[in-house]
Amino acid sequence: MRLAFPLAFAFLILTNLSAIAQHRFLANQQNKLVIIDAEGKPQWQMMLSGSPHDLQLLDNGNILTHQNTEIIEIDPRSSEIVWSLDAKKFATVDRVEVHSVRAIPGDRIMIALSGEGKLLEVDRDGTLHHSITLQRTHPHPHRDTRLVRRLENGNYLVAQEGDGKVCEYDRDSKIVWQYDVPMFGRKARGGHGPEAFGNSVFSALRLPNGNTLIGTGNGHSILEVTPEKEIVWKLQQHDLPGITLAWVTTLEYHPNGNIVFGNCHAGPENPQLIEINRGQEVLWKVHDFKTLGNDVSNSIILDADANVIR
């Protein structure tokens, strides 16, 4: 009988420990790419000529990203750029920027060309096969888009930062769904840190249930909205004990319902990456201002389930 309580107590400890995630991940700190192992130790890093806003792990283990307007594929085993294409070749205006790039079916690449206001589908030889024209209220080469994701139906879900909205575009450049990120009765306040506020949306994912998960950027929040635009779940700036959210960037939705997200520009007092469950419990976080810093705008969990949505 004396062993019953200690054994039960030990079981609870082991159960709680097993629920704490440890992840190997890829992230950027401005123009530095870093892979960090599950113990928090840097395994690999590479400097780029510009700070990327989008990262994708390809099936061959390479990394698709961009430095300034140059789209690049990196082999992390050799730290070599094995393919590149400068998106400026598609520009018809003086200034363009790239904030999102994705490999899509048909061995093609989607490039979101801000300033031009278009989504381009190109092959690796640089041939343009299709383009989608964005409908912009406040066009700007730095703020037309942040992350863009292709849906299974071939449409694109676009985070239009400067307009504060998420739009789903069909192949004919028609908006078939739109969500205006709410200000919740507050006034916009400039800056990048926790004190700022706005609707400069950074990311959006379409969930298996048909809802859309939105990283609101300097709105300091994550929203889940239905096709009818009802908010059915949200995480706000001060909902996580001891953590303040700033610029909410990358989103990953895992098959178990957990969400991993980026907390950029939040200062050294706060973690840069956070994993929560739907009950808003913190399961994992990265608080590393030695290898990383205050400008971690994108990340990928490398040991995630194959069915993760990112």
Evaluate whether 291 touches 34 at the Cβ level (below 8 Å): yes
pLDDT for 79: 98
| Statement to judge: residues 155 and 62 lie in one domain | yes
Extract the tokens encoding 58. Answer: 């390809």
| Statement to judge: residues 209 and 292 lie in one domain | yes
**141-154 mean pLDDT:** 98
| Statement to judge: residues 166 and 258 lie in one domain | no
The pTM assigned to this predicted structure is: 0.93
Number of domain units in the chain: 2
Collapsed DSSP state (helix, strand, coil) of residue 109 = strand
pLDDT higher than 70, residue 10:
no
Collapsed DSSP state (helix, strand, coil) of residue 226 = coil
Domain assignment present for 5 = no
pLDDT for 305: 86
Measure CA 196 to chain center: 20
Tens-digit pLDDT profile for residues 172-216: 999 999 999 999 999 999 999 999 999 999 999 999 999 999 999
Extract the tokens encoding 39. Answer: 């113990």
Domain assignment present for 93 = yes
pLDDT for 21: 65
| Statement to judge: residues 204 and 302 lie in one domain | yes
Distance, CA of 165 to CA of 64 (rounded, Å): 26
Domain boundary among 170, 190, 222: 170
Among residues 281, 161, 156, 287, the alpha carbon closest in space to that of 219 is found at: 161
pLDDT for 288: 97
DSSP 270-298: S-SEEEE-TT--EEEEE--TTTS-S----
Domain boundary among 124, 144, 170: 170
pLDDT for 47: 98
Domain assignment present for 17 = no
pLDDT for 36: 98
Q: Higher model confidence: residue 20 or residue 227?
A: 227
Tens-digit pLDDT profile for residues 238-278: 999 999 999 999 999 999 999 999 999 999 999 999 999 99
**Count of CB atoms within 10 A of residue 303's CB?**
11
Domain assignment present for 62 = yes
Measure CA 237 to chain center: 17
Tell me which DSSP letter residue 77 carries: T
* Residue-averaged pLDDT of the chain: 93
Range of the domain at 155: 53-170
Residue recorded with tokens 């739009």: 167
Collapsed DSSP state (helix, strand, coil) of residue 39 = coil
pLDDT band at 1 (very low <50, low <70, confident <90, very high): very low
Domain assignment present for 283 = yes
User: What CATH number corresponds to the domain at position 210?
Assistant: 2.120.10.30
pLDDT band at 306 (very low <50, low <70, confident <90, very high): confident
| Statement to judge: residues 154 and 234 lie in one domain | no
Tell me which DSSP letter residue 250 carries: E
pLDDT for 15: 35
| Statement to judge: residues 206 and 92 lie in one domain | no
pLDDT higher than 90, residue 20:
no
pLDDT for 184: 97
| Statement to judge: residues 185 and 256 lie in one domain | yes
CA torsion 218-220-223-229 (nearest 10°) is: -50
pLDDT for 207: 98
User: What CATH number corresponds to the domain at position 80?
Assistant: 2.130.10.10
Among residues 310, 257, 230, the alpha carbon closest in space to that of 26 is found at: 310
| Statement to judge: residues 193 and 109 lie in one domain | no
Among residues 253, 146, 256, the alpha carbon closest in space to that of 203 is found at: 146
pLDDT for 17: 35
| Statement to judge: residues 146 and 187 lie in one domain | no
Distance, CA of 284 to CA of 82 (rounded, Å): 33
**Count of CB atoms within 10 A of residue 157's CB?**
21
Domain assignment present for 29 = no
